[in-house]
Amino acid sequence: MRELIYYSFLESADTKRAFIEENRDRIFDVFKEIAERVKRGKKILLCGNGGSAADCQHIAAELVGRFKMERRALPAIALTTDTSILTAVGNDYSFDKIFERQVEALGEEGDVLIGISTSGNSKNVVNAVLKAKEMGILTVGFLGKDGGRLKDIVDYPFIVKNFSTPRVQEVHITLGHVLCDFIEGYLFSYEKYFPPFGEGVDR
């Protein structure tokens, strides 16, 4: 069991290292685009199932509340939290429609939808992304394994190339934390809060 503990931490670290080495520049470019949209008054919508649903709520809470900075609240909505909507749509239509209907109701052109799926094949996330694209909403996928169907339909896929769901989820929440950190710094000044990281930042 000691070996299991040690191996789990090493595998998590190795998975994160491999992911960032492959995606570092893309993360900067995509997060900058998201931050620009938030700066212009657009909002971030998030959807996913199970542990990914928890990640959606976690990320939205960091943006609406705060991550590191005292600053104004930022517009983010986890589409995973309203049990009346989820059960009504699931009962009256199907579980596959629970996020799509909320995107249609709450989304606006120029917003951002982050779909989180460790398999990349969650049907309700796929449907939400397709609806978002119809509406002119930027779509980003936090995905796992081989990226599944979502890698081919989101505007920007971030794929954690690991078939262990826990390892994928660990990268996803780190990516979500980095997104919150980036948006705060981009909108409210890296120089004031993170002097070592502010020098030379292209904003």
Residue ranges of the binding site for substrate: 49-51, 62, 91-92, 117-119, 122, 169
Measured in Å, how far apart are the chain's first and last C-alpha atoms? Answer: 48
- Residues 36 and 183: their CA atoms lie apart, in Å, by 9
User: SS3 for 94?
Assistant: coil
Q: Which residues are documented as binding site for Zn(2+)?
A: 58, 62, 169, 177
How many H-runs (helices) and E-runs (strands) does the chain carry?
8, 5
**Do 193 and 72 touch, CB atoms closer than 8 A?**
no
Q: Which residues are documented as binding site?
A: 49-51, 58, 62, 91-92, 117-119, 122, 169, 177
**Do 144 and 120 touch, CB atoms closer than 8 A?**
yes
CA 161, 167, 172: angle at the middle one, nearest 5? 80
Radius of gyration (C-alpha) of the chain in whole angstroms: 17
Tokens 């900075």, located at residue: 69
- Residues 103 and 131: their CA atoms lie apart, in Å, by 7
β-strand pairing of 44-48 with 156-160? unpaired
